[in-house]
Amino acid sequence: VATTRFQGENPELDGLYGDLAEADLQPLWLQERLLTAAPPQRSVPFCWKAKDVYPLAERARRLVPIERGGDRRVLMFSNPGMGGWCMATSTMSAAIQILGPGEIAPAHRHTAAAIRFILEGSGAVTLVDGDAIPMIPGDLVLTPNWTWHEHHNPTDERVLWLDVLDLALVIWLDAMFFEPGPDAPDPGPSPSGSTSERRFGRSGIVPVSGAGGGAYSPLFVYRWSDVDAVLDDILGGIAAHHASVRYSDPVRGGDVMPTLRCEAHRLRPGGAADFGRATGSAMWTVFTGEGVASVGDSTFEVEPGDTYVVPSWCPHRLETAAGADLFTVGDAPTFEALGLMRRRPPDAGERSER
Ligand code: GTQ
Ligand code: FE2
């Protein structure tokens, strides 16, 4: 940077800069936001409130039919820091998806991996590689990289869920591929649970041969009733006011997918949790209860269905008067795999753990 002071005073140097530009070269010493002391966050702390988003989703449901081409009725969260790109964080898209009674979102597959966290309406079905998964609020459903998926709502009510995909990452990596249908046969009104659950959903027991052991979890759905029971038990056994669980691949034990980490958190009434800061971004959704989230310099009062962003390296703290259950999904596995995960516990000053 020191050398820039000669700019305009030294004709030879000016000539060099001109010739560099002609040759599609740029001097590192003039780049200002490249080798930064800490990441300049692209996405900013932000919260989408259910009371704003749900009515807009309902209007979209009435006005916009699901057609081939669009395929999905999805309101994408467009982070104000992302310059108008419809991404929630620098690696992830997030959205509210709504399906009316009798509607079908047709089959397709893509290299971006997705999770859904069900927020409203019981009995819609997502088929993942042909396996019909009935969904009720609080359930987590995976549609991993390149798995066929389609959504059916055979019920009389609208259903609404949170979608989160590693879409910004996949697009940045020039790795996006997409392929439409064939639609699977209609699963009918109430399939009796999925094959993936029957084979992989009993804790500690996995088939010796068959699927699993690949890059993503062969269990495509995690039931809220199970999450609820574990959180309850953890909090019952300790004096702390915060319990958390991680959704894991029952065969390999790691995260559910190579790019996304999912967790559920419960705070007792009057409880608080301080997460410090970490590289990587995350979406947090309130399932039940209420709370106040501090993310960087922002404060959000959150209620069920509200979703907020914790950008990379932003301090994050939660507190609640009435108690709260939250679901979170983030890109931590990518950071860990690439040696880019860095954490700073709360109150650690400038010291960070690598
Ligand atoms: O439900 O398959 O939010 O393909 C974005 C892309 C949801 C889906 C999204 C998708 C889907
Ligand atoms: Fe999709």
Lowest-pLDDT choice from 231-245, 256-270, 283-297, 299-313: 231-245
Q: How far is the CA of 163 from the centre of ligand 1 (A)?
A: 7
How confident is residue 351, by pLDDT bands cut at 50, 70 and 90? low
Q: What is the mean pLDDT of residues 55-71?
A: 86
Task: Return the structure tokens found at 163.
Answer: 């979608």
Q: What is the mean pLDDT of residues 181-194?
A: 74
pLDDT for 237 equals 77
Find residue 37's DSSP bridge partners: none
Residue nearest (by alpha carbon) to ligand 1 atom 4:
72
**Whether pLDDT at 8 is above 90:** no
How confident is residue 295, by pLDDT bands cut at 50, 70 and 90? very high
Among 53, 72, 78, say which to mutate for ligand 1: greatest number of ligand atoms within 8 Å of CB: 72
**Whether pLDDT at 1 is above 70:** no
Which atom of ligand 1 has the smallest separation from the CA of 164? 3
Check if the beta carbon of residue 119 is closer than 8 Å to that of residue 77: no
Q: Which residue has the higher pLDDT, 141 or 353?
A: 141
Residue nearest (by alpha carbon) to ligand 1 atom 11:
72
Ligand 1 proximity of 95 Cβ (cutoff 6 Å): yes
| Residue 183 DSSP one-character state | P
pLDDT single digits (tens) 116-143:
999 999 999 999 999 999 999 999 999 9
How confident is residue 2, by pLDDT bands cut at 50, 70 and 90? very low
Query: For the chain, what percent of residues have pLDDT higher than 90?
Result: 84
**Whether pLDDT at 345 is above 70:** yes
CA atoms of 80 and 58, how far apart (whole Å): 23
Q: How far is the CA of 131 from the centre of ligand 1 (A)?
A: 17
Check if the beta carbon of residue 267 is closer than 8 Å to that of residue 273: yes
| Residue 248 DSSP one-character state | B
Identify which of 203, 66, 199 has the alpha carbon closest to the alpha carbon of residue 131: 199
Q: Which residue has the higher pLDDT, 300 or 41?
A: 300
Contacting residues for 272 by C-beta, under 8 A, at least 6 apart: 241, 242, 317, 318, 319, 320
Query: Whole-prediction pTM value?
Result: 0.94
Ligand 1 proximity of 165 Cβ (cutoff 6 Å): yes
Ligand in closest contact with the CA of 96: 1
What percent of the chain is helix, strand and coil (3-state, nearest 5)? 20, 30, 50
Q: What is the mean pLDDT of residues 303-308?
A: 98
**How crowded is the C-beta side of 312, counted as CA atoms within 13 Å?**
20
Q: How far is the CA of 289 from the centre of ligand 1 (A)?
A: 27
**Whether pLDDT at 75 is above 50:** yes
CA atoms of 158 and 121, how far apart (whole Å): 6
